[in-house]
Amino acid sequence: MMIMSAISGGMMLGAAAISLGIAQIATEASIKYAKERLQPAQPLTAYQTVKFMLVDMSTAVDAARAMLYQAAGVLDSAAPGPPLSCFKAKIFTTEMAVEVANKALQIHGGTGYCCDLPIERYYRDARGLTIHTQPTEMLKDFTAMFLLA
């Protein structure tokens, strides 16, 4: 049981790490684009809404990174029982990546939805990771079972 928990915990952290990378690159691309894109004669960064989205994206990435590192530490300690911190990190990080990628699409506008930029792929990949390994809903149900036991 402990070996299976470590393997499944590692798989969860793998999906979480990929999600973190997607969110990080989507945030960086959005910051770059918002600085360069003029609308109508000023950069997108002049608009409070865009600035707030960028701050939310960056904050979410930092929070997910901290949660991922904490879960990796718990997994390395080989604590007995299911690696709940790994499951929580996977749930949080994959859902966060979808939200960040969605905001990146919003910032990039119609060009972000086209295949000319990788933004649409970031969204697609992030969404896929909410299903990969274990769907978010199944992990939430499993985690709740242990929280409420």
Instruction: Give residue-wise pLDDT tens across range 4-47.
Output: 454 588 889 999 999 999 999 999 999 999 999 998 899 999 99
Evaluate whether 67 touches 12 at the Cβ level (below 8 Å).
no
Q: Give the separation between CA 8 and CA 133, rounded to whole angstroms.
A: 8
Residue 148, domain member (yes or no): no
Residue 85, domain member (yes or no): yes
Backbone angles phi, psi at 43, to 5 degrees: -65, 155
Give the model's pLDDT for residue 5: 53
Q: Could you tell me which residues are beta bridge partners of residue 38?
A: 43
Question: Residue 66: which domain range?
Answer: 2-143
Sign of CA dihedral 86, 88, 89, 94: positive
Total number of domains in the chain? 1
What is the domain-level CATH number for residue 118?
A: 1.20.140.10
What pTM value is reported for the model? 0.91
Q: Give the separation between CA 13 and CA 133, rounded to whole angstroms.
A: 10
Helix 84-108 crosses helix 119-129 at what angle (to 10 degrees)?
Answer: 160
Q: Could you tell me which residues are beta bridge partners of residue 43?
A: 38
Give the model's pLDDT for residue 104: 97
Structure tokens that stand for 49 in this block? 């809404």
Give the model's pLDDT for residue 6: 46
Average pLDDT over residues 107-126: 89
Q: Give the separation between CA 98 and CA 83, rounded to whole angstroms.
A: 23
For a pLDDT cut of 70, what percent of the chain falls above it? 95
Residue 149, domain member (yes or no): no
Q: In the predicted model, is pLDDT for residue 3 greater than 80?
A: no
